[in-house]
Amino acid sequence: MKLPDLGEIEAASRIVYREFQATPQYRWALLSERLGTHCWVKHENHTPVGAFKIRGGLTYFEHLRSSSELPREVISATRGNHGQSIGWAARAAGVACSIVVPRGNSTEKNAAMRALGVTLIEHGADFQESREHAQHLATERGAHMVPSFHRELLSGVSTCWWELFKAVPQLDVVYVPIGQGSGACSAIAAKLALGRSLRIVGVVSAHATTYADSILAGHVVAAPVSTQLADGMACRIADQAALEVLIPHLDHIVQVSDAEVAQAMRDLYTDTHNVAEGAGAASFAAAMQERALLQGQVVGTTLCGGNVDAAVLAQVLRG
């Protein structure tokens, strides 16, 4: 896959900024003290859907609009944030949108998608079963299937990292959570587009290791999913196109447990009073795991989403 270049990322930013402006990045003093070095947080929890995915949805629909007639209906699968992204963009374009989620999905993410006009379909025990059902429905209905990983999603998501890397040029390393791979591949795209030498570290759930296993093997290796907290990283089968970008460009992979993610959620709330969902806290959890290796370096993390059910957050904060 040819990654978006600087001109494409800058063009994508103009599409994104029709809906909202650049999100902030802050060097939080208490987080830096906790990590033992300079720690910056990119606040993608401050987008209109509370997560970074909206950037990709906007550029994906712009691609549809410019390359052909908009479809009558779009269908996709999600654990929540991708679905909100597609729902937001579909509503703006006047296109019907159906989203498939696994049974038992986040109540509040489901409610947020419905509020955007999404027709929500609950099917399957996990994301992979939901994705396969969404593809079946799209074929059956003649609807357009929006994938979870696509170059036109990357161009939008890359704007997040382009903002961070321009704002904090002294970054030495950035920790990026991996769900289906758009976040990490977009960080790589922005790094290459800007000609930066910083290291990009991928972060996966220790309870959903398909990307860690696949990168080690050099090809897709399915892995069971048992995470109870990092639903945005609960992927059972890695995407081959994402692997082809990640394998040559990631510095290494860190696996974080649900316990480490929960601690990071508490740390982020205590030190910044920002709410992080499981995947949104994963990059800080990984940095903390490697804190002994990071002394004297400038570290970038991302609060890539804050969409956690209130009951789950209350339980996590109680410890």
Query: Is residue 48 a contact partner of residue 54, using CB atoms and an 8 Å limit?
Result: yes
Residues 291-307: pLDDT tens digits? 999 999 999 999 999 99
pLDDT at residue 104, as a whole number? 94
**Rounded distance between C-alpha atoms, residue 183 and residue 191, angstroms:** 12
Average pLDDT over residues 7-26: 98
Average pLDDT, the chain: 97
Average pLDDT over residues 172-196: 97
Residues 228-250: pLDDT tens digits? 999 999 999 999 999 999 999 99
Global pTM reads: 0.96
With a cut of 90, say whether residue 67 has pLDDT above it: no
pLDDT at residue 236, as a whole number? 96
Instruction: Tell which CATH classification among 3.40.50.2300, 3.40.50.10490, 3.40.50.1100, 3.40.980.10 matches the domain 6-52+151-318.
Output: 3.40.50.1100
With a cut of 90, say whether residue 68 has pLDDT above it: no
In CATH, what class is 54-145? Answer: alpha beta
Nearest to 9 by CA among 46, 49, 52, 59: 59
Average pLDDT over residues 204-217: 98
Segments making up each domain of the chain, as ranges: 6-52+151-318, 54-145
Average pLDDT over residues 83-100: 96
What single string gives the DSSP state of each residue in 9-33?
HHHHHHHHTTT-PPPPEEE-HHHHH
Average pLDDT over residues 272-301: 98
pLDDT at residue 191, as a whole number? 98
**DSSP 8-state assignment for residue 293:** G
Percent of the chain having pLDDT more than 70? Answer: 100
pLDDT at residue 307, as a whole number? 97
Average pLDDT over residues 106-132: 96
Q: Residue 110 — very low, low, confident or very high, per pLDDT cuts 50/70/90?
A: very high
**Whether the domain at 6-52+151-318 and the domain at 54-145 fall into the same CATH topology:** yes
Taking the CB of residue 73, how many other CB atoms lie within 10 A of it? 17
Average pLDDT over residues 129-158: 96
Residues 256-265: pLDDT tens digits? 999 999 999 9
Q: Residue 69 — very low, low, confident or very high, per pLDDT cuts 50/70/90?
A: confident
With a cut of 90, say whether residue 253 has pLDDT above it: yes
Query: Is residue 234 a contact partner of residue 46, using CB atoms and an 8 Å limit?
Result: no
